[in-house]
Amino acid sequence: MNVIQIRATRVVAAGLSALFFLASCTQEQQNVISRDIQNWTGTNGVLEFYAGDKLVRRFLKIDKLSTAMGTQDKVPRPYRFGYGVMDENLNFAADPGEKKVYFEISDYASNYLFFENPR
């Protein structure tokens, strides 16, 4: 076998191993793996806040939303947080002058939508 055939064999073997590993995982384990990959690579997320049916605030370029955890007790807190560019004019673009900011979302009364930016 030449060098190209050896490399191709290794790639196929690695792919089959990964496929076997994922197939043997439960759905929950696959979801955890997927979230870990997204946390590593980022998602280019968009977070929108609504007052009724009216869009009132949008954040762009969010890599992830994190659940707050207690410092001492490590118990999840009832809010999420992250960093994103506040889209002040709601034009779906990070314009000059629009800054990356920290935000928090309450689990109790916030009407929000988080999704991957389609653009």
Percent of the chain with pLDDT over 90: 27
**pLDDT(118) > 60:** yes
Sign of CA dihedral 41, 46, 47, 53: negative
Number of Cβ atoms within 10 Å of the Cβ of 43: 17
User: Using an 8 Å Cβ cutoff, are 22 and 33 in contact?
Assistant: yes
Higher pLDDT, 25 or 68: 68
CA atoms of 37 and 58, how far apart (whole Å): 25
Q: What is the mean pLDDT of the chain?
A: 80
- pLDDT the model gives residue 21: 63
| pTM summary value | 0.62
> pLDDT band for position 49 (50/70/90)?
very high
Q: What gap in Å lies between CA 38 and CA 16, rounded to an integer?
A: 22
- Determine the Cα–Cα distance for residues 46 and 60; give it in Å rounded to an integer: 5
